[in-house]
Every structure is written in structure tokens, then in C-alpha cells.
Structure 1
Amino acid sequence: MKSLLPIIRLLLTAEPKSMVRGAALSVIVLLMGAALLGLSGWFITATGIAGLAGIGIAFDVFRPSAGVRFLALGRTAARYGERLLTHDATLRALAALRVSLLRRQVGLDARALVRLRGEAELTRIISDVDALDGVILRLFLPGLAALVTHLIVFLMLGWLAGWAVASAVLVGYVPFAAFVFWRLARQSVVPSGQSESQAQALRRGIIDMIRDRQALILRARIAKREDDMLSLDGSSRKMMRALDLSDRNAAAALSILTAAVTGLALMVGAALVARGAINPATGAIGVFVALALAEALPPLARGVADYGKMTGAAERIGHAPKTMPETTAKSHAKLDAPVLTIDTPNLTLRLDVGEAAALTGPSGGGKTSLLMQVTGMAASDGILIFGTRPDELSESALREIVTMVPQRSALIAGSIRENLSLSGGTGDEEMWQALAAVALDGVLRARGGLETQLGEGGTGLSGGQARRLTLARALLRKPKLLLLDEPTEGLDDATATLVLSGIRKASPDAAILATLHRSVDHPVFDISKKLNISR
């Protein structure tokens, strides 16, 4: 429960007024239901007694029947308003939760952000947020409304039918219903959490199998993967059956509890009538109210059955990953200082306007990590951009100066123009100049130009072409410091030479820092800047 409290607090404070109105209407619906059955029970009993006594013609049937109609219509209207307000408020609260979650990701370091790009991680986050939509609708509001309704009904029954009847209903329902829900939570927490985790794993597995189907077929592993998915589906169905059994047992227990409390209210009311403390019509109120209060229990049972799923999602959503340290004050770049200064135990480097350096070294030696530090996406020490540490620059100022092209090309489904437009507002002429700089203009002109359509993740281009398209997009940013992580990977030697020359020509004033395994002898790079990063 502890993990759910921050989520409940966030969801309630996102739309507090709508939540309060929805909670009030939830209580009104239950109170009107109890009043409707209580009044109906009194009315039926009173008219029967009046008929037996031979005074039925003098009995006032108009005001009670008007009250019954008012409560029936009012309950319907209140139920509609309650559904409208609580669902609207919950949807808005979930939107606030997504915004809060995305804001928290901004502070993650580069490696954590890279992990978030995986399908498995994104699927998990989406499923967890969706699982939390029942925290308010099926757990918090039904529980609060049921408790408040029972307390108000206790006071009203004590005033109308006597405190013995009121106590019988309250003591009969509240502690025993709490026990049923506690037992349901214990029995369902494991199957509920596991069924959700297995459902997420099944979705990820199916997505991976469809995406990698060609490789699986060629390796004769499609049957093995299918068996794995069927096994996972069988395990998920087993957990769902266990959850369904717990839910049905709880429903049966609540039905028995309703019958028991109704019978207890009947016996207490009959005893009071026998002693002459109340009349038979008043004694019937407690019986019908006890039946009406059973309406408050099933909605809460559904939320309790999903408690394990909600708790697991809240723990994963609420788990605070390590974020980048923040500085309280932001400095301005000193444009008269070197564009980039690196002074670390492994590397000493200074880059001025228009200079380029190639960093070489073994795989895993820290080249990519160094670039991430320069961009401010990882903690750094000994790195200055225009005389200022990256974490001391404002986000907008840092992104205005530095542009990085990572090893993995990030493209979207859409046209070439739409992919290039991610760099900012640019015209067609600038786009073609950038494409020419990376030797991609000829290929795209033959395929439809800027309107050439790409599939998800840039499918439709080869690996080298996708790399060059991301390079062209980086050039459109016109950065003062351009960071390139293996820009020639996937390119033949001739194309690599053309691309490096084109980048330098398109950005003559930019300082360039590139990590390379080959093409380090290209004339674009200052020979004195070829450095090795030691492990």
C-alpha cells in the first residue's frame, strides 16, 4: 500500500475539484439507494398494515410514492454525474501522471535514456500507467464512498429505527467486509501481479517474434519461439484462473454476509417491534437498508482483486532512477573561450572554432561516454564548453551549441522532409544542401525526393543511408560543436571520404569531435588532435 500512496496523492491533486465532486456524488448515489429501499420497505409495510386494519382509504400514499420517484430519478442522475466526473477526472489525472513521468526522465543520464528507447521498456511503462487507472475508480473512491455511506446510514438508522438496528447493520457489515477484502487482497496479490507481468512479457514476445520473423525462420527457431509464447500464455491463463477463483470466492462471501446482516437486522427489528419500541413499518426500514448497502461492496471487490497489479505498477512507476545532478544557477557561455576544453586523467584536448579532432581507441574504452559527458547527458568533470561546464549551461543554451549524432540512427515513420524537419524550421533548399553534404541527394532524387516515405524506425533505407540522413539532420542545426560517434560506420571508404569532406564544407566554423575506428587519416582532422582514450 505504501507504494500506492504517492500515486493516489498525485492523481487526487491533479483534478481536486472534480475528484471531490465525483466522490460526493458516489456517496449520494449509495445514500439514495439506501433511502430508496428503506422508504420502499416502510411504504410497503405501512400500506399492508393499513389495509389489514381497514384504514387504507385514509392512508397517505402520495407523499411516500413521490419520495420513491424522486429518489429513483435522483439516483439515476447522480450515478450519471458520478460516472462523468470521476472518469473525466481520472483521465486528466493519468495525463498528469504521464507528464510527471516524462519530466522525471529528463533528468536521467544517457545510458538510462538509451534503455528507455527499447520496445520492452516502453511497453512496460505504457502498461503500468494503464494499470493505475483503477487506483481511483475501483479502489480509492469506492472504498471511501462505502465507508462514509455506512457511517451516515448508521446515524440515520439510529435516529429512525433505533440504535440497536443501526449497530447491527454497521457492526455486521464493516468489520466482516473488511476481513473479506483483506483475504481477497492476500489471495489475489500474487496472481494479479504475475498475470500483469506475464501479459506484458507476452505482448513484448509477440512484437519481437513478428519483428524478427525472417531471422527466426532462417534459423529454424520460429517453432521454438511459438512454443515459448504458448507456454507463457498458459502460465498467464493459470494466474488469471487463480485470480478469478479468488474473486468468485469473495463474491460468494459478500453474498453470505449480506444475507446474514439482513437477517440480523430483521431479528433486531422484530425484537424491538415485539417490545413495542417501534412500529412494524419502522422496523422494516433496517431490513431494506441492509439489503441496499450491499451495493457498496462489489465495486470495491473489483479494485481489491487488482491490488497486486496496481501495487506492482506503482512500484515500477514510483521507482526513482538515478538522475543527473542539478546546479542551482545557470551560467552563460563565454564565446571568447575555446569551443571545447577537456582536461581529464585520460585525455587533454582543446578545440577552437573550425577545428576537428578524431578520437580513436579500443571498443569499450570510453569514447561514447566522453561524448555523452560533453552533451551534458552524463556526469562530467574537467569538461568546458566555451569556458563553462555543460551542467552549468541552461538546457536551451547547451542544445543551441552542441549537436551529437549517436551510433544508432533515430528516424521516424514519415517522409524525408518530416525527418529533416525535426532539426527545426528549414526550407527545401537547405535540406537539399544538407543531403548533398552527406552524398545522399542523388539517391533520394531518384526515389521521390523529400516526399520519399520511410517506415517505422526509418525502414526503407540501408544502414549507411539512415546514418547519412541523421548526419544531414544534424547539419541543419548549424551547431557550434558537432559530436559524431562513428559517423563512417556502415559506409564504404569512398562514401566515407565524401561524407567527412561534405560535413566540413557544410559547417566550416563548427568544432568537430568524432570517434572513429577508421578514416582517422582524413584531411578534415587536425593530425595533432588524433588521440587515444586509454581504458
Structure 2
Amino acid sequence: MKPLLRIIRLLIRADRRAIAIGLLLSIVVLAMGAALLGLSGWFITASAAAGMAGLGTLFNFFAPSAMVRFLALGRTAARYGERLTTHDAVLRALGALRLRLLRGLLAQPYRATERLRAASVLNRVTADVDALDGALLRLVLPGLAGAAVIVLAAALVGWLVHPLVGAWVGAGYLLGPNLVFLAGQHRARRPSREAEAALQATRNRLVEMITAREDLTVYGQIPAARSRTLEAGARHGAARTRLDRIERRTGFALDLIGGGVTAGALGLGARLAEAGQITPAAAAISVFVALALAEAIAPIRRALTEIGRMAQAARRVEPALALPAAARSTTQLEPRPALHLEALGYAPRPGAPSLFAPLSATIAPGKTVALTGASGLGKSTVLLMAAGALTPSSGRVTLGGTDVATLAPETLHHTLVMVPQRHALIAGTIAENLRLAAPEASETELWQALEATCLADTIRARGGLEARLGPRGAGLSGGQARRLALARALLRRPAVLLLDEPTEGLDADTAARVLAGMRAALPEAAILIAAHRKVERDVATRMLQLRHSPA
């Protein structure tokens, strides 16, 4: 529960004033409800007693009836204000939490983010944040408001009716529901976790079945994928059935508590009235207030089935929120810095040998260096370290004399761009994909980047910059998608460009023209290429051989 409590404090700190106002209005709503029912009970009983005594003409009907109308209308207005205030504050707090969570995920080591699956992460982040929105709306605010109103109502009943009756109402509504909640949440914890896990499995399997439908069809695996999805859905249904059963039993227990407290208040009031210590009208106040306070404990029923989900979501979310910010240098780089690799080495895990022998090189502005070596030796790893995405096990990477690990992200991203093997395109127009790198780029600049990568004629034939692509760039061939990713990199006008097998999927003639066009577009950039093909080595001004680490 500690992670959930820390998340709740974080949400409250996001807008303390709005949360405080919402809590106050929640208390007002419940208090007005209890006052409305208590006053109504007193009014009915007192007016009946006055009529039976022949004093009906002397009884003041107007003041109580006016107060009843005021409480009814005021309760409605307070409820509207409470919902508006608390929901707005919580939605803004969750928006900030979502951004902080995504920043935390992106701040993880590159190898950790590399293992993340987009569909799974998106479903998990969405589900966890959705679960946490109930922490304030269905747990904290109703709980605090309910407890405050119960204490206040018990004190007023003790003052207006009798201390014994007030103590009975307060003890009954404070102790009984809390015991039910503690017992119920213990029983609901496991099915709540199972229901959430099964729901996420259902979503992930459904998304995977849709995105991989071509391969599943080719290999005849659609029935098996469908069966796995339905099985996860069945597990979710079974867990939800158990939760619904617990919720019904909890509701029944709360109803019994409300009925017991009300019956006790009636019995005590009747005995006190019979003894002449209170009037029948005063006794009616305690009975109707006890009935009204059942509203204060009603949220326990729903919160009970969700608290397990909330706690589980908080345990997953909190570590990403707590990632420490690395110290960053405020050094301003020169316009055309050189890239230096100083005795660079990388071990995949602590104690393991380096993937390759120490590597040292300088990539000067205007030069193209081809990094060569056996497949799997670590060329992509060198580029990732040069981009600051991986931390070297030995040596360091500097840009203009400053270690890239200490550069502010804005400075690094403005100066250096890497195009990895697995480029990322989005569902949208060609222009939208290009403007991911340069949101303010003009159409002229977009066409210039496409011309440099020999893609302009293809895009014109497809309808121009407003031609739409499907998910992950569907609609382009592998080579066309590759060139679109390269064009996007050119729009950043980087001083250092890192390319991982940039001409994969292109014929030799097109590959040569693309590389020449990129150099013409960035004549003064330092370019480092992880080269597998002869055409990539041919454009280099220097070769850099990656060698196996000595035994």
C-alpha cells in the first residue's frame, strides 16, 4: 500500500487547492443529505404531534419547509460543484502523471527500452493511469468526506438528541464499515490482480493477432491465436465474477450495518422518549440521520473491488516516477563539433568481456567514416554509444570535447541524429512523418529532403506530401520507408549524423545516389556509417575496422 499512498500524495500535490475545495464540497453534500433527512424526520414527527395535540394552527410549518427546500437545492448545487472541481483537478493531475511516467520510461537504459513492446506498454500505461484515477475519486475523497460527516453527525445527534444515541451512531458507522472494508479487500486482492492481468493479456493478444494477421494466416495460426485470446478473456470473466460476488456480499454487509445502526438509534430513541428524556421529534432526528449516513459508507462497496488494482498499478508506476535525473552539462557546443571515440569498449553485462577491442577514432566535420567488421560484432552498439543511448563499459565518447553522457538532451538532439536499423514511421501523411523531426519545416524543405534521398518522384506519384500511410508506415516498400526515415533525419540539419546500414533494401545505383544526396545536403556534417555494403564503404573518406576483443 505504500506505493499507492505515495502516488496519492503526488496527485494531491498537483492541485492542492482544487482537491481541498472538492473535499469540502463532498463534506457539504453528505452533511446536507444527513441534515435534510434528519430535518424532514423531525418536521414530519413534530407536525404530526402538534396536530394530534390540537396545536396545528400554532405550529410553524414555514421555517422547516423553507429549510428543507434550501437543503435540497443546496445539496444539488454542491454535488455539481464537487464533481466539476474534483474531476477537473484529478484529470489534470493524471495528465501530469502520465507525462512523468512516459518520461521515466524513456529515461531507462536503452537496452531496457529496446525490450519494451509497444502494444503491451501502451496498454499497461493506459490501464495503470486509469486505475489510479479512482484513488482520489473513489477512495480518498469519499473516505475522508464520509468519516468527517459521520463524526460531525454523531456529535450533533449527541448534542441535539442524546449523547448515548450520538455515540451509537458514530461507533456503528465508523467501526463496522472499516472492519468490512479490511476483511473484504483482503479477499478481493487476488481476484482483482487476476482480473487486471487477464484483461491486459486479452488486449495484448488481440492487438498481436491483428498486427500479425498476415504471418498467422500464412502459417495457419489464426485459430490458435484466437483460442489464446478467448482463453484470456474467459479468465478475466471468471475473475470479474468472483469480484462481483465479493462486491455483492460487501454491499449486503454494509446494508446490514446501516439497518442495525438505524434500528439501534430507533430503539434507543424510543426508550429515551418513553423515559421522558427526549421528545419523539428529537428521537426521529437520530433515526433519519442514521438512515442518511448510509450514503457516506456506500463508496466502500466499489472501492473494495478496485483497491487491489490501484495498489498493483501504483507498484508498477512508482519506480518509473522515481528515476533520478542525471546531472547534465550546460556546455554550449561549437557549431561543427568533431566526434571522438576514446578507447571505447562495451560489455553486455558486468564481468563479461568487451564485445570488441578498444576503439578510438575521430570523425571530423565534413568527413565520412565507414565502420566495418563482422556481423554481430557490435557496430550498432558503437553507434548507440556515440549517440549517448548506451553507456560505454570503458572509454568515452565526446562531442566537441564534452562527454555525450553529460550533455543536456536538448543540446545532444539538436547536434546529433542517429538513423537506426529499425526506423519508426507512424500512421499519417508523408508530411506528418517528416515533421516529427522538424515541426516547423516548410513544404519546400520537405521536398528538398525527399529529393536528396531520391524519394521525391515516388511521393509525387502517390499524391504528394498529403498521401497517407498506414500503421508503421504501411504503404511504402522497405527501401522507400528507409529513405523516408533518412529524409526525416536531414531535416534536423545535424552536425553529426550516425547511420546504421542506411542503404539496406536499396539497389546499388539508388544507394549511391542517396548517399551522395545526403552528403550534398549536409556538406559539413561528420558522418559515421555502420557499413555492410560496398556502396557504403565507397563513399567513406576513411575506414574504421572493428576487431574482436583479445581473449
- The equivalent of 1:175 in structure 2 is 175
**How far apart are 1:46 and its partner, in Å?**
1.4
Select 2:515's aligned residue among 497, 500, 509. 500
SS state at 2:497 partner = strand
SS state at 1:382 partner = strand
- The equivalent of 2:40 in structure 1 is 40
Distance (Å, rounded) in 2 between the aligned partners of 1:400 and 1:328: 15
Distance (Å, rounded) in 2 between the aligned partners of 1:400 and 1:93: 31
**How far apart are 1:409 and its partner, in Å?**
1.4
Contact 1:334/1:387 (CA < 8 Å) preserved in 2?
no
Contact 1:265/1:290 (CA < 8 Å) preserved in 2?
yes
- The equivalent of 1:487 in structure 2 is 502
**How far apart are 1:321 and its partner, in Å?**
7.9
Contact 2:101/2:321 (CA < 8 Å) preserved in 1?
no
The verdict on how the C-alpha distance between 1:66 and 1:460 changes in structure 2, with shifts beyond 3 A counting, is same
The one-character-per-residue Cα deviations of 1:218-253 (angstroms, maximum 9, x if unpaired) are: 211111111111111111100000000000000111
Q: Where do residues 183-222 of structure 1 align in structure 2 (5 Å cutoff)?
A: 183-222=183-222
Contact 1:360/1:533 (CA < 8 Å) preserved in 2?
no
- The equivalent of 2:303 in structure 1 is 303
Contact 1:94/1:133 (CA < 8 Å) preserved in 2?
yes
Q: Does 1:369 align with 2:381?
A: yes
Contact 1:357/1:513 (CA < 8 Å) preserved in 2?
yes
Select 1:401's aligned residue among 399, 409, 415. 415
Distance (Å, rounded) in 2 between the aligned partners of 1:392 and 1:120: 32
The verdict on how the C-alpha distance between 1:334 and 1:79 changes in structure 2, with shifts beyond 3 A counting, is closer
SS state at 2:503 partner = coil
Q: Does 1:145 align with 2:145?
A: yes
- The equivalent of 2:366 in structure 1 is 354
Contact 1:4/1:311 (CA < 8 Å) preserved in 2?
yes
- Percent identity, please: 46
Distance (Å, rounded) in 2 between the aligned partners of 1:214 and 1:529: 41
- The equivalent of 1:387 in structure 2 is 401
**How far apart are 1:526 and its partner, in Å?**
3.0
Contact 2:272/2:278 (CA < 8 Å) preserved in 1?
yes
The one-character-per-residue Cα deviations of 1:421-447 (angstroms, maximum 9, x if unpaired) are: 233233344333322332222322322
Contact 2:339/2:397 (CA < 8 Å) preserved in 1?
no
**How far apart are 1:302 and its partner, in Å?**
0.8
**How far apart are 1:520 and its partner, in Å?**
6.7
Distance (Å, rounded) in 2 between the aligned partners of 1:278 and 1:447: 88
Distance (Å, rounded) in 1 between the aligned partners of 2:509 and 2:487: 18
- The equivalent of 2:330 in structure 1 is 330
**Long gaps (5+) in structure 1:** none
Distance (Å, rounded) in 2 between the aligned partners of 1:272 and 1:162: 8
SS state at 2:534 partner = coil
Q: Where do residues 97-496 of structure 1 align in structure 2 (5 Å cutoff)?
A: 97-116=97-116, 118-320=118-320, 326-327=326-327, 329-333=329-333, 338-345=338-345, 346-380=358-392, 381-424=395-438, 425-496=440-511
The one-character-per-residue Cα deviations of 1:54-102 (angstroms, maximum 9, x if unpaired) are: 2222222221122212111111111111111111111111112112223
Deviating more after overlay: 348-357 vs 285-294: 348-357
Q: Which amino acid aligns with 2:362?
A: R
SS state at 1:383 partner = strand
Contact 1:496/1:519 (CA < 8 Å) preserved in 2?
no
Contact 1:485/1:514 (CA < 8 Å) preserved in 2?
yes
Contact 1:139/1:303 (CA < 8 Å) preserved in 2?
yes
Distance (Å, rounded) in 1 between the aligned partners of 2:544 and 2:378: 17
SS state at 1:320 partner = helix
**Long gaps (5+) in structure 2:** 346-357
The verdict on how the C-alpha distance between 1:411 and 1:151 changes in structure 2, with shifts beyond 3 A counting, is same
The TM-score normalised by the length of structure 1 is 0.95
SS state at 2:341 partner = strand
Q: Which amino acid aligns with 1:317?
A: V
- The equivalent of 1:13 in structure 2 is 13
The one-character-per-residue Cα deviations of 1:302-326 (angstroms, maximum 9, x if unpaired) are: 1222111111111111123895862
Q: Which amino acid aligns with 2:387?
A: T
Distance (Å, rounded) in 1 between the aligned partners of 2:457 and 2:329: 48
- How many pairs are equivalent? 535
Q: Which amino acid aligns with 2:427?
A: A
The verdict on how the C-alpha distance between 1:324 and 1:83 changes in structure 2, with shifts beyond 3 A counting, is closer
What RMSD, in angstroms, separates the aligned Cα atoms of the two structures? 2.1
Distance (Å, rounded) in 2 between the aligned partners of 1:85 and 1:527: 64
SS state at 1:278 partner = coil
**How far apart are 1:197 and its partner, in Å?**
1.9
SS state at 2:502 partner = coil
**How far apart are 1:329 and its partner, in Å?**
3.9
The one-character-per-residue Cα deviations of 1:461-514 (angstroms, maximum 9, x if unpaired) are: 011110111111112222111001121222233333332233223322211111
The verdict on how the C-alpha distance between 1:322 and 1:487 changes in structure 2, with shifts beyond 3 A counting, is farther
Distance (Å, rounded) in 1 between the aligned partners of 2:134 and 2:403: 45
Contact 1:359/1:533 (CA < 8 Å) preserved in 2?
no
TM superposition outliers: structure 1 runs of 4+ over 6 Å: none
